[in-house]
A and B are shown apart, each in its own frame.
Chain A
Amino acid sequence: MYFFQKGVKLKIRKELAKGSASLLVLSLLAQEDMYGYQIIKELETKSKEIFCMKEGTLYPILHALEKDGFLSSYWENSHNAHKRKYYKITENGRKELQEQKQEWNLFSTAVNQVVKI
């Protein structure tokens, strides 16, 4: 995952990106069903272009979340006659999201407290 600061592309450390990617994806899908490309674009828009998730990162995450039962999916025809796969958060996914949010809040608060010293 990348982020942009004053127009400069910077890479987020792998460990940080890995920990937060599924939280970001689940959060977006909690709002509405989306397909892969749409998730990437929404992430850029909602983070004011700070986050730029690569496709190679996104699809394995989506497939893993689906395998774990946190997402379900369905296919619809897109306007260009291609089949498009939409992802939908499941009840289990919503529970997982709540847990991940709590973890994130705890973690970020603790890091901020230490860093601000």
Chain B
Amino acid sequence: MNKELENYLSQATAQISDPEEARLAKMELEDHIMTKVEIMCLGGTSEEAAYQKAISEMGSAKTLAASLGFVHNRKYPIRCHILYYAPKHTGLFHPENACRQLAHDLSEKLDCPCHNCLDQPAFHAVDILIIVGLNHHRSTSLHMHKFIKSLTKEQVHQIIFVTLPLKTACSILILSYNCINTQTINTSIASDSMSVGSISQTLLIKQAQRQDIGTIGEIFCLRHFYMPGFVFSSERERTLNSLKRILRNCT
């Protein structure tokens, strides 16, 4: 690469704190300058003069660096949506009511703007989608898998599952990862849900982790069915606090 160009690109991207974002910005600016150089050379300008002109037309490297740094380094508020995925009533512990209540609590405590759409599968574009309430039925897994498959990166960047039995969430993830382009949605499994895992569940987690996925998302597993006003308040608080921690880390 032309030395003058190299210096310019390094200066222009120097204030972008994320090295990967800086590298990509550098590549983009390089392509821009090279395109101009090529056109000027075709018009009869010498290569050296073309480089000088193309670089000077880009403007001051310091000014560009400040603008790019401002854009790339600013913090964005996380847009979050909590979706209550209604499982069928499965008997003894009324998990449907438990999940509904938990989703309601989460939406209030995490300031989800969508208090009215907890039951609806349609939602607006968000950074993080929190899905509450999955059961272990295969039909639920398939339904959820279809829903996840329909999501695009434009709609949601990360999914957090708040689920009842751990095995369910793992099954859904594995099913989904096998079918969707895993580059489009960043999801993964956190080790803190391992405390409730049996050997078979651990195997499922390992299987999911072998997929080529990012390491941002988490699964929260409630050890017991969540019963409002009953004995599981510590579990509820643990879940809420962990979610808050994740959201804080994302900002």
Q: A104 near B: Cβ within 8 Å?
A: no
What 1/0 mask marks residues of chain A from 46 to 83 whose CB sits below 8 Å from any chain B CB?
00000000111001100110011100100000101011
Check B154 against A69 for contact (C-beta < 8 Å): yes
Which of chain B's residues have a CB closer than 8 A to the CB of A84?
31
Binary interface encoding of chain B residues 24-45 relative to chain A, with 1 for a CB under 8 A from any of its CBs, else 0: 1101111110111010000000
Q: Are A55 and B31 in contact (CB under 8 A)?
A: no
Most interface-central of B35, B57, B63, B64 (chain A CB within 10 A): B35
Which residues of the other chain, A, contact B28 by a CB distance below 8 angstroms? 36, 59, 85
Q: Which chain A positions have C-beta within 8 A of B154?
A: 69, 72, 90-92
Q: When A60-B67, A85-B28, A85-B31 are in contact, do A69 and B59 touch as well, CB less than 8 Å?
A: no
The answer to whether B27 and A72 touch across the interface, beta carbons within 8 angstroms, is no
**Alpha-carbon separation in the docked complex, A90 to B59 (Å):** 29
Contact status A60-B27, CB under 8 Å: no
Contact A83 B59 (CB under 8 A): no
The interface residues of chain B, by DSSP majority, are classed as helix
Would you call B190 an interface residue if the criterion is a C-beta within 8 Å of the partner chain's C-beta atoms? Answer: no
A59 with B68: CB separation less than 8 A: yes
Contact A72 B70 (CB under 8 A): no
- The answer to whether B32 touches A37 (Cβ under 8 A) is yes
Chain B residues within 8 Å of A68, by CB: 76
The residue in chain A whose Cβ has the minimal distance to the Cβ of B68 is A60
Other 16 A-B pairs with CB < 8 A, given A55-B29, A59-B32, A80-B34: A36-B31, A36-B32, A37-B32, A37-B35, A54-B57, A55-B58, A55-B64, A56-B59, A56-B63, A59-B64, A63-B25, A63-B72, A64-B71, A67-B71, A82-B34, A90-B125
5 closest Cβ pairs, A-B complex:
A56-B59, A60-B67, A82-B31, A85-B28, A64-B71
